[in-house]
């Protein structure tokens, strides 16, 4: 049976965060809040957990395009090839915030992502998500959870999320109502920035 854990974004309980990080470390799946929609995530280094998410989403793991949730930009060089100053300035201006940036991956990517030429990086402006990553010690792979109601693309109510997902995941974090607008996705892996999806993040970061 899945656990339903209430956390407050202003000051997430460190003991609860540690408990949830341990669940991730052991291959568990967690639904957690971000600064946009609720995400479904696991430890990026745990193949078994990644396979579980792939099955839930109905995709092959090798073809899945999921983002890495990071606490800040300090670990960028762990997974991303060296980027130029202009690109780094865009990242510094936008993050933490409601953006996913597609960047060129390097040779240190976890084994399940070795064949990927690019990786999506997220640094959400949400203390729960950031504290979870910090406690785990490495990024969380993340994919948004969809609502089957066409009028509401993303599920926003944690109690309804728990009702729907409790048999599929190990923990659902109640961090309050989520947004129903996803992150803005920007590809910075080429010569010019390319907007792949307009979401919550504005485009004024380029001005």
pLDDT digits 0-9 by tens, 32-69: 999 999 999 999 999 999 999 999 999 999 889 899 99
Q: How confident is the prediction for the chain on average, in pLDDT?
A: 93
Q: How many CA atoms lie within 13 A of 128 on its CB side?
A: 24
Q: Which fold has domain 3-206?
A: DHBP synthase (3.90.870)
Summarize pLDDT for 112-147 with one digit per residue, the tens: 998 899 999 999 999 999 999 999 999 999 999 876
Q: How many CA atoms lie within 13 A of 25 on its CB side?
A: 13
* Pick from 99-113, 138-152, 183-197: least confident: 138-152
The answer to whether residue 182 scores a pLDDT higher than 80 is yes
Question: Per DSSP, what are the bridge partners of residue 42?
Answer: 141
3-state SS class at 43: strand
Summarize pLDDT for 147-166 with one digit per residue, the tens: 666 656 778 999 999 999 99
Q: What is the DSSP letter of 68?
A: E
Model pLDDT, residue 150: 61
Question: Per DSSP, what are the bridge partners of residue 40?
Answer: 31, 143
Model pLDDT, residue 146: 76
Compute the distance between CA of residue 5 and CA of residue 207 in angstroms, rounded to an integer.
Answer: 40
The answer to whether residue 28 scores a pLDDT higher than 70 is yes
Q: Express as a percent the part of the chain with pLDDT over 90.
A: 85
Question: Based on the number of CB atoms within 10 Å of its own CB, is 181 exposed (0-12), middle (13-18) or buried (19 or more)?
Answer: middle
Model pLDDT, residue 206: 84
Residue 174 makes CB contacts below 8 A (sequence gap 6+) with 4, 5, 6, 7, 158, 159, 162
Backbone angles phi, psi at 95, to 5 degrees: -115, 145
Compute the distance between CA of residue 2 and CA of residue 20 in angstroms, rounded to an integer.
Answer: 12
């Amino acid at each position: 049976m899945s656990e339903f854990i209430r956390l407050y974004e202003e000051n997430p309980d460190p003991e609860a965060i540690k408990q949830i990080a341990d669940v991730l470390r052991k291959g568990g799946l967690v639904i957690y809040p971000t600064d946009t929609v609720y995400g479904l995530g696991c430890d990026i280094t745990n193949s078994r957990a990644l396979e579980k998410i792939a099955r839930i989403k109905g995709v092959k793991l090798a073809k899945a395009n999921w983002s890495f949730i990071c606490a800040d930009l300090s670990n960028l060089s762990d997974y991303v090839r060296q980027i130029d100053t202009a690109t780094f300035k865009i990242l510094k201006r936008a993050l933490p915030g409601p953006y996913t940036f597609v960047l060129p991956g390097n040779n240190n990517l976890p084994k399940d992502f070795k064949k990927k030429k690019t990786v999506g990086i997220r640094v959400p402006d949400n203390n729960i998500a950031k504290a979870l990553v910090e406690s785990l010690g490495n990024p969380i792979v993340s994919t948004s959870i969809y609502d089957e109601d066409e009028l509401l693309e993303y599920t926003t109510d944690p109690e309804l999320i728990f009702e729907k997902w409790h048999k599929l995941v190990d923990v659902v974090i109640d961090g309050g109502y989520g947004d129903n607008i996803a992150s803005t996705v920007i590809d910075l892996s080429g010569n010019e920035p390319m907007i792949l999806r307009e979401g919550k993040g504005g485009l004024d970061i380029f001005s």
